[in-house]
Amino acid sequence: MRIGDTIYLDHQASTPVDARVFSEMAPYFGESFGNPHSTDHVAGWRAAQAVEGAAARVAQLIRADADEIIFTSGATEANNLALLGLGRRAAGGKRRRFLVSAVEHKSVLAVSRVLRDQLGYQLDSLPVDRLGRVNLSALRDLAADDVLAVSVMAVNNETGTIEDIPAISSLLEGTGIVLHCDAAQAPCAIDLGHFNRHVHLLSLSGHKMYGPQGIGALFVRREIKDALEPLQYGGGQQQELRSGTVPVPLCVGMGAAAALLGGAEANAERERLRLLRDKFVRGMMELPWRISLNGAAGAERHPGNANLQFEGFTAHNILGAVQPRLAASTGSACTSGIPEPSHVLKAVGLSAEQAAASIRFSIGRYTTEQDVDAAIDLVKDALSRLADANMLQSA
Ligand code: PMP
């Protein structure tokens, strides 16, 4: 996958829209432009049918039903609707605590702080081990009957660590605690089949799964629908949970993207990613510098993710030196540019210096072996130049 001369290894920041997805979306920008909430004419009915079909395809990813899918503008909004929605509705109740893993995306962490600072909830951080997996015995100890909700992501956006959501779900069974899962990074990494039984709320993002940007979804298990307060009010669309006209072409795109990731070919794609990623990691480790892999290995990791630590270098300098030929990331795209060490890498035990020396490479659907080989050469060349410059400076 190249954008002009640039090798793109940043699929966890955003994926390109699959051409098959784009072609399904196209008619809804043109002749089928009706408002899906217009109930008086056929143009509206057709649009509503398209949205319904898209919701069914998204739902199928986790074996849910179409009416359990609420379209949002992305996973950030889905996370906000899940947690703030729960917190606002339950204000004044006896469940006063949220348990949130230490490695969550900022859109979960920031909302959790609002729940604490503005709504008076107690916020407990769930610790993770050195591979980024939530400590289940800490969760068991903390999961008392004053806990309203637990939020643990399915797949980490920085380290690629896959959390054991089924185990967390069974640990919470019978407690009355709501389980929210940010699964924005999950569809490309794992088969989410039957997650409808494991979690009550699940967030997805279109542009992390070869769908368009600006669309996401929150799965709301039918029996907890009334536990959420909406974040925006208006025409009462989407079962009163998210007012506003839904964007039909984007919904159709997200549905098409979900359909491509729900079938058997998705597992073959994950296997292909794994082989390419392993080749990339091996190639990097063979370079004559101290380069190591942060986070989990093998099956507990997103098959396209390689978070590598370059001892003695900074990610910022390496990425600068490979511009404009290679796109990768210093961490979550949302924190890039802010010169503070990644909270995820800190939570898995890295020092500020080690975190600053770490780069996330993420391989995707259109990445080729040639891309991977060329990326290794580019990094090798950059490290040589940086090492030479360093020698000169210290001479
Ligand atoms: N959660 C995770 C794990 C993510 O990786 C991202 C995207 N960086 C988000 C939430 C936010 O998604 P969106 O861009 O759709 O708001």
Going by the DSSP 8-state scheme, the letter that residue 100 receives in this structure is E
User: Is pLDDT above 80 for 319?
Assistant: yes
Which are the catalytic amino acids?
334
pLDDT band for position 333 (50/70/90)? very low
Check pocket membership of 211 for ligand 1, CB cut-off 6 A. no
**Helix, strand, coil proportions of the chain in percent (round to 5)?**
45, 15, 40
Query: What are the tokens at 195?
Result: 């997650």
State the closest ligand 1 atom to the C-alpha of 332, by its place in the atom list counted from 1: 8
pLDDT band (50, 70, 90) for residue 300: confident
Amino acid at residue number 47: A
**Ligand 1 geometric centre to CA of 328 (Å):** 16
> What value does the mean pLDDT of the chain take?
94
**Residue 40 to residues 29, 43, 186, 363: CA-CA distances in angstroms?**
21, 9, 39, 47
Does the structure show a pLDDT above 80 at 367? yes
Residues 328 and 319 sit within 8 Å (Cβ to Cβ)? yes
Ligand 1 close to Cβ of residue 334 (< 6 A): yes
Cβ 73 under 6 angstroms from ligand 1: no
- pLDDT value at residue 298: 75
Question: What secondary structure does DSSP assign to 254-314, as a single string?
Answer: HHHHHHHHHSHHHHHHHHHHHHHHHHHHHHHHTSSS-EEE-S--GGGB-TTEEEEEETTS-
**pTM for this one?**
0.95
Provide the 3-class DSSP secondary structure of residue 195. Answer: helix
In this structure, the residue with its CA closest to atom 5 of ligand 1 is: 157
Q: What is the pLDDT of residue 332?
A: 47
DSSP per residue, 110-125: HHHHHHHHHH--EEEE
CA distance 197 to 334: 31
pLDDT at 242 over 80: yes
